[in-house]
Amino acid sequence: MDLRVIGCHGGETPRHRTSAFVLDDRLAIDAGSLTSGMDLKAQFALEAVLVSHAHLDHIRDLATIADNRQNRVPPLVVAGTRPTLAVLKKHFFNNLLWPDFSRIPTLRRPAIRYLELVPEKVTRIAGYEVRAISVNHTIDCCAFTVRSADGTLAYSGDTGPTERLWQVLGETTDLKALLMEVSFPNSEARLARVSGHHTPETLARDLKKLASSKELPTLLYHIKPSFQAAVERECARLTGLNLTICALGDHFIL
């Protein structure tokens, strides 16, 4: 599996982009920076986007990628749980904030097509076996496992300390890597707790619920730009884990 980091931050500046990752050029995980971080050719190559939750930093470039793709390529599959899709329909592609691209340019060939994911249930998307696992955030949010013939990639979504994800990953024998959120420094533990995010301290405690975390390549994302240096410093001090901090443009072969 070929993993490209399009956006890996919990905020935006000219040097930071919000969450978006692409597998084998055809499956995106979250849509925070799919158009600000990819040229048209790469945008057109996508078949589907997995949406972890409806927060703006994970969905906002669905607006612009839908616009760019209309009448050029087949519909983009937008896959998420029922509560996530409900927010997209009611508050985003609602013909007020933005057109309903699930109905235009034509009903027969719209720019996007919704696909509902049921947590825990495997769904086949763009040639992968995708499973959503509920995690612990301020709104409905899920992690994903994405399996291909090469193995499984896991993505945490936005989450604070959680349980079920670690059980599922513990049972995943072909797990290659985990994209894992960490957002705030330890000094902002309260803010992390009320906003459903990790600090390096809570991250280390949670990762240790997984027996293989010592070796498992764990790719950290969602650091808040204004706390980047502090979070990186604190992560560098964690021991007994296999951590890498994602950077824009990173390309991993899993």
Q: Which stretch binds Zn ion (CB under 5 A): 36-44, 49-57, 111-119, 232-240?
A: 49-57
* Least Cβ distance, residue 155 to Zn ion (angstroms): 12
The answer to whether 61 contacts Zn ion (rule: CB under 5 A) is no
The binder of Zn ion chosen from 61, 140, 158, 234 (CB under 5 A): 158
* Least Cβ distance, residue 141 to Zn ion (angstroms): 6
The answer to whether 30 contacts Zn ion (rule: CB under 5 A) is no
Nearer to Zn ion, 1 or 179 (CB): 179
Q: Which stretch binds Zn ion (CB under 5 A): 51-59, 91-99, 172-180, 208-216?
A: 51-59
Nearer to Zn ion, 60 or 176 (CB): 60
Cα distance between residue 79 and residue 59, in whole Å:
11
The answer to whether 60 contacts Zn ion (rule: CB under 5 A) is no
Nearer to Zn ion, 8 or 117 (CB): 8
The binder of Zn ion chosen from 4, 55, 69, 198 (CB under 5 A): 55
Residues 203 and 219 sit within 8 Å (Cβ to Cβ): no
Secondary structure (DSSP) of the chain: -EEEEEE-BSS-BTTB-BSEEEETTTEEE--TTTTTSS-HHHHHH--EEE-----HHHHTHHHHHHHHHTTTSSPEEEEEEHHHHHHIIIIISSSSSS--TTT-B-SSSBSEEEEEEPTT-EEEETTEEEEEEE--SSSS-EEEEEEETTEEEEE--S-SS-SHHHHHHHT-TTEEEEEEE--S-GGGHHHHHHHT---HHHHHHHHTTSGGGGTS-EEEE-B-GGGHHHHHHHHHT--SS-EEE--TT-EEE-
The binder of Zn ion chosen from 3, 27, 48, 57 (CB under 5 A): 57
* Least Cβ distance, residue 209 to Zn ion (angstroms): 21
Within 68-127, the residues that bind Zn ion by CB under 5 A are none
* Least Cβ distance, residue 44 to Zn ion (angstroms): 26
Nearer to Zn ion, 26 or 193 (CB): 193
Nearer to Zn ion, 223 or 241 (CB): 223
Applying CB under 5 A, which residues contact Zn ion? Answer: 55, 57, 158
